[in-house]
Amino acid sequence: MDYSGGERAEKAVAIVLLKSTVRSVFKKSVYNDRIIAIKLEAEPINILMMQVYTPTSEHEYDEVEDLCDIIEGILEEEEGKADTNTIIMGDWHSVVGDESYKNIVAPHFLGRKNHRVQMFINFCERNGLIVTNTWFRRPKRRVYTWKAPGDRSRH
C-alpha cells in the first residue's frame, strides 16, 4: 500500500493491493495529496492505475481544472501508451445522471446531473475514457456511495 497524504495522512489517496499483485508493480508515483498512480506489468498489456480525489464543490472550479491538467499531463507523459490500459478511480464529485452520452456514459446510474458533470464528461472525451460504473445494470440500492444525514438523499 502507498498513500499520498504526507506525515499526517490528511486528504490522502491510496492504492491497496494484494500481496500477490505487489510484485507486478514496476512504477509508483505520488503526484500530490489527491493523485497517486502505479504501473503494473501485465499480459497482454501493462496497466496504469490512478487514484484521484477531486476537490468538493466547496472549492474553486479552478482547483478542479488544475487537477484535471495534472492528470492529463500524466496521461501524456506515459511511455508506451498504446501498450497500456489506463484505469482512473476515485471520487470526481460528479453525478452523471441516468442518460447516455456517446460511448462515455451509459444510462445505468442514479440521480440528476450536477454542475460538475460537463467538465468530467469533457475530460473523459478528450482522453478517450469511459465512465465504467454506468455501463452495468444494478439495483438502485447498489449504485449510490453516499447517503445524506437523515436518509434524505443518496448520491
Segment 41-98, tens digit of pLDDT: 999 999 999 999 988 877 788 888 999 999 999 998 876 667 899 999 988 888 888 8
Q: Is the pLDDT of residue 5 over 90?
A: no
Query: Is 124 among the domain residues?
Result: no
Q: What is the domain range of residue 103?
A: 94-114+129-149
Give the pLDDT score at 57: 76
Give the pLDDT score at 77: 83
Q: Is the pLDDT of residue 118 over 70?
A: yes
Domain identity same for 89 and 139: no
Q: Using 50, 70 and 90 to split pLDDT, how confident is the model at 38?
A: very high
Q: Is the pLDDT of residue 119 over 70?
A: yes
d(CA 144, CA 4) in angstroms, rounded, equals: 26
Query: Is 120 among the domain residues?
Result: no
Alpha-carbon torsion angle 138, 95, 70, 55, nearest 10: -120
Alpha-carbon torsion angle 47, 3, 120, 127, nearest 10: -30
Domain identity same for 35 and 77: yes
Query: Containing H/E element for 35?
Result: strand 35-40
Domain identity same for 87 and 61: yes
Q: Using 50, 70 and 90 to split pLDDT, how confident is the model at 125?
A: very high
Cα angle, residue 53 at apex, residues 47 and 72 outer, rounded to 5°: 55
d(CA 99, CA 77) in angstroms, rounded, equals: 33
Domain identity same for 82 and 100: no
d(CA 22, CA 6) in angstroms, rounded, equals: 22
Q: Burial code of 29-67, b = ≥16 C-beta within 10 A, e = fewer?
A: eebebbbbbbbbeeeeebebbbbbbbbeeeeeeeebeeb
Domain identity same for 38 and 108: no
Domain identity same for 21 and 70: yes
Domain identity same for 78 and 103: no
Query: Is 121 among the domain residues?
Result: no
Query: Containing H/E element for 87?
Result: strand 84-91
